[in-house]
Structure 1
């Protein structure tokens, strides 16, 4: 057995537990959670949650910070977020039992628009990627690349500082959307657009969930910027 195969098996084993998988899915909102919050979210004791978190941190999937008595954890980086989202997108779609109107409303909101770590996903995220592709700002032929026109658009019409696009991270990356089964825009470009739309209050979070909604100002802005209705 090769070292690569053993390492891959260890990584797969980290996500093979339902509680650890649920923790990683919750952390796709891009925020840092306390161990207690994740314990409550997954329905396990705090001591059990801590054991799972230790394994995820040791395996490089999560990073931790301590502030006083509190222990905060988050996904280690955008690559881990892409891994979790991509794995979710490859699952066979199934209709989950609806547990009431509130759950049905929450599920519908997540499908319409949500954050995937630091970029937009769901119908909204795919609509942005499609509109950019139609305008020649993204080239999805044989990959997912930002064109020269796309870079000029980001730093021009979209109002993103060119310095904010300089980092050791892919500028554009296709992320397979687990509800739409099509790609939305990830990478630095996706993250900066999400930041920009939220800063302008075009897109706002719905409560404390990953779900987001487009505001009236956002509907006008997205129509003017990308022709999205």
Structure 2
């Protein structure tokens, strides 16, 4: 897939409600079956299959085949970035039930944006890294300071491994719910994987919202001076 997909193509694709719903589900960064996507997007399986074919044809998503099963995911971080940007300017969804309200609050609090941490927690964490001098803001990206290199080494994040990935290293991603930037790219992914490994956050089923554990609340406060209670 091209490194910089045509935003106009993606915008045209997501102008259809069902395709937009599918791509929003896939912003969790995981592979899903067509039936899972149909259920999570509240559409019929036949409808999901039709739109998945359109998205594959446009190289917006990728498919993984295992035996007779097929699993779908967003194939490029740039697609996720464009989707998150579109969500940031979209009008808010009308909340019609207590369940929908609870889900919306969970997504706004902490979620995955493709493969990095987003929502209020993601934005707070990014700004904590800036305040502490671990990161510096430069145009549309972040750079790691000498102090930051020492910090990440001590925190268990391998910067060299992250830098070797064929993708942008540490760019800004506009958070749709906070209207501020959070850390994305290979470094954002490495940081998310580390807090998942530490069990500071946990993925939840059927949603891209993530749960901050009690260990996480204590850890974020001790290491990053973030009070997430």
| TM score, norm. by length of structure 2 | 0.89
Deviations 1:143-191 (A, max 9, x none): 3222323651453232112442121212111111111000011011110
Query: What is the aligned counterpart of 1:228 among 223, 226, 229?
Result: 226
Corresponding residue for 1:4?
Answer: none
- In structure 2, the partner of 1:211 is 209
- Equivalent residues in 2 for 1:171-210, closer than 5 Å: 171-210=169-208
Structure-2 separation of matches of 1:149 and 1:98: 49
Q: For the residues of structure 2 that align with 1:18 and 1:163, how far apart are their CA atoms?
A: 40
Q: Report which stretch shifted further, 216-225 or 153-162.
A: 153-162
Q: SS of the residue aligned with 1:140?
A: strand
- CA distance in 1 between partners of 2:191 and 2:7 (Å): 33
What TM-score, normalized to structure 1? 0.89
Q: What is the Cα deviation at residue 95 of structure 1?
A: 5.8
171-180 or 217-226, which deviates more: 217-226
Measure the CA separation in 2 of the matches of 1:201 and 1:9: 39
* CA distance in structure 1 between the aligned counterparts of 2:218 and 2:54, rounded to whole angstroms: 46
1:159 aligned residue = 156
Q: Please state whether the residue corresponding to 2:73 is helix, strand or coil.
A: strand
The yes-or-no answer on 1:127 pairing with 2:151 is: no
The answer to whether the Cα contact below 8 Å between 2:141 and 2:171 also exists between their aligned partners in 1 is yes
Q: Distance in 2 between matches of 1:129 and 1:55?
A: 35
Per-residue Cα deviation, 1:75-126 (whole angstroms, up to 9, x for no partner): 011111111111111224x3622312x2222211111111111111111000
Root-mean-square deviation (CA, aligned residues, Å) is: 1.9
Unaligned runs of 5+ in 1: 1-6
5 Å-filtered alignment, 1:75-86, equals 75-86=74-85
